[in-house]
Structure 1
């Protein structure tokens, strides 16, 4: 992110990055970035060979993992799953998803999900609003992914982000509840924690 004066708080930084992402999504570079990041994600997943891949339903200009889902099912015959978040108590788990149809329900945060049975992915793709090369993630502020990763430390959490979300460690200092991602992939690079 090219700015001399980054926003002072996480909510301000989040809003700043989301606006930059919305503006960028209307450029020709965004379509090429989607293709490039998809290629990177597929290459990493080919090495990891997940048995159950936790995805997410894309929103607000996030990387769209639906083509990745299709490849994972056809080439690796892996189970697919979507997160289901609860607001009270705050919790997130994954539910089996066939990958062929639109999600058939919404979770308590109003994000598309599925009525499938609960499953435990061994690899999850985690969308990032912002990230540092050290694997720290700025999400939407609910803490759902951090709680899931803390409860399941054996799950390989791979962040997916756009280059424009890259932050310096001084800008996004980790908080006590933050859990670093194993790897962060963007359209042009990858960083491992």
Structure 2
């Protein structure tokens, strides 16, 4: 096991650069299809009543159409926080305060949340974009199943900080990681 990366912002930039390269490679579409199949199998077992999804940024896994009621996150910068809003699946016409597409539906609490990962550890922790939005939301909703979605090449090591929240599972195109 390699040591933890000492600088999260540098690590994040390195992982995002690697993800851009991966997204431009022929392997990307194969990985997208594999992760999509694994996600559909997992969700069929979980049967969410309301599934928290995310609007994919470039290079992220795109969960696409899913046969469950869904909600999209809405992030606020001041005070920093996030809620989920019910989403009908149509092209979002709104953006949250971070500039990410979102829904204008009613605020709701999903029972299963898909969480995008810039990086992840085998212990179930994720490296996100640095805003702490998902960590704060998960801390406030401890009973929610949080499924991290990541590319296998994003596995890394970093020192866990007090605000970091472990995910229930991490799903990659290659495996399901169930932290202890």
TM over 0.5: yes
The one of 82, 88, 113 equivalent to 2:102 is 113
2:88 maps to 1:98: yes
**Structure 2 residues without counterparts, runs of 5 or longer:** none
The one-character-per-residue Cα deviations of 1:116-135 (angstroms, maximum 9, x if unpaired) are: 11111000000000001110
Q: 5+ unaligned residues in a row in structure 1: which ranges? A: 73-77
User: 1:113-168 deviations in whole A, cap 9, x for unaligned?
Assistant: 0111111100000000000111010000000000000000011000000011011x
Residue number in structure 2 paired with 1:183: 169
Candidates 102, 107, 117, aligned match of 1:128: 117
1:38 counterpart residue number: 36
Deviation at 1:104, TM superposition (A): 1.7
How far did 1:175 drift?
Answer: 0.4
Deviation at 1:177, TM superposition (A): 0.4
- Normalized against structure 2, the TM-score is what? 0.95
In the superposition, the TM-score normalised over structure 1's length comes to: 0.89
Count of aligned pairs: 178
Work out whether residues 53 and 70 of structure 2, in 8 Å CA contact, stay in contact via their aligned partners in 1.
yes
Query: What do you get for the CA RMSD once the two structures are aligned?
Result: 1.3
Q: Does 1:56 align with 2:54?
A: yes
Per-residue CA deviation, residues 64-107 of structure 1 (Å, 9 max, x unaligned), is 0113x2xx2xxxxx3210000000111101001011x1112000
